[in-house]
Amino acid sequence: MNRTITYRLALASLLSLMAACTEQAKGPDSRKQILEKHDQLMAKSEQAMSIKMQLDTIKLSHFLTGHLITDTLATSKEIIRLKHLLSEADDKMEDWMHNYRPDYKGKSAEETNAYFKKEADKLNSLDSDYKNAIAAPNELFAKFHIQTTSAKK
Amino acid sequence: MMKRIIYLFLIAVIIPACKETPRKLPIFGNRQAVNRMVDGKKIVDTIYQTIPAFSFINQDSVTISNHLFDGKIYVADFFFTSCPSICPVMHRNLMKVYEKFKGNNEVMLLSHSIDYKYDVAHVLKSYATKLGVTGSQWQFVRGPKERIYGLAKNNYLVSVGEDSRAPGGYVHQGYLVLVDKDKRVRGAYDGTKAEQVEQLMSDMDILLTETKQGK
């Protein structure tokens, strides 16, 4: 009788351990998902860089000739602001990449999970920073009839 | 007699046909037809897109320029040292290329970092050392992001843009770009796939032979 209970307890422990492991692997903030998110953000970083270059072309092709610009100072300030937004998102991304530890192991499984959850949250926040910075110049581009650089689908 | 003639004819036709003609690598990028006068005759020449002049700081804190690659074929790529996903696989594969052509003074490798903020010279140096790279055949360089991205998108990755099924941009997709001695792009290979890196090595052999034969 005692032996049966011991076996059952051992089996139950084994099953819960397996479930915990599976949960950890399938967890929403697993390392694989972080890497996928990172690669998506790298594409956004590339898009941000192209937009920055496009903002520079406004200076060169429209600004110098005075084409379509009535308030040159305001336009110049706006271009600087938009480029700053893009650079800021990029800076944060570089900081994240530099500080991220893909091989992180905490003292416990909870601690490790908490670390990757925190990193996933940082990437989500970066994602919205990029989205905002990439969308911000649309109005200016529309004004100058410039087609925006979009990420490839 | 007639039979003998037929046999001889077949031999004469079949043997040259079986002889394998060496594969020629395509030339990517924009091209422009220009008229030239040679010995009083007008001929149409083609001018191909080439990698423009550049200068960057390398892993030894030395400024290097496009002239370092004069008269050589080279493989270019884009990476950053803290990259957790694509770059480690790509550079592990590129090590095979390095090992194969190590000491060949007609071949170089050029890795551009896209992380200007953190990939300073000593970081690039320790990355190269950790990878097992010595000497100057494999250059790891850094430069302002705008310049690196400009070169990547407008010059090195000209053959990739249209074909790539990548969900986003393509600078960070692990491409290895083969450039010939005239600084023209001759191929782009997915550096994360071992079979494509094998193809790259075989194409490098073709390119070396091609330049020896005078194109």
pLDDT digits over B116-165, tens only? 999 999 999 999 999 999 999 999 999 998 899 999 988 998 767 554 44
Interchain CB distance below 8 Å, A50 and B149: yes
Mind listing the pLDDT tens digit for each residue in B36-61?
888 888 888 889 999 999 999 999 99
Residues of chain A with Cβ-Cβ distance to B168 below 8 Å are: 39-40, 42-44, 46-47, 151-152
pLDDT averaged over every residue in chain B = 87
The one-character DSSP state at A61 is I
Whole-number Å distance between alpha carbons of A59 and A80:
10
Burial of A141 (0-12, 13-18, 19+ CB in 10 A): middle
Q: What is the ipTM of this complex?
A: 0.71
pTM of the predicted model as reported, rounded to 2 decimal places: 0.79
Interchain CB distance below 8 Å, A49 and B145: yes
Interchain CB distance below 8 Å, A46 and B171: yes
Residues of chain A with Cβ-Cβ distance to B149 below 8 Å are: 46, 49-50, 53
Interchain CB distance below 8 Å, A53 and B146: yes
**Residue A30 contacts B where some CB pair is shorter than 8 Å:** no
Whole-number Å distance between alpha carbons of A2 and A10:
12
The one-character DSSP state at A16 is H
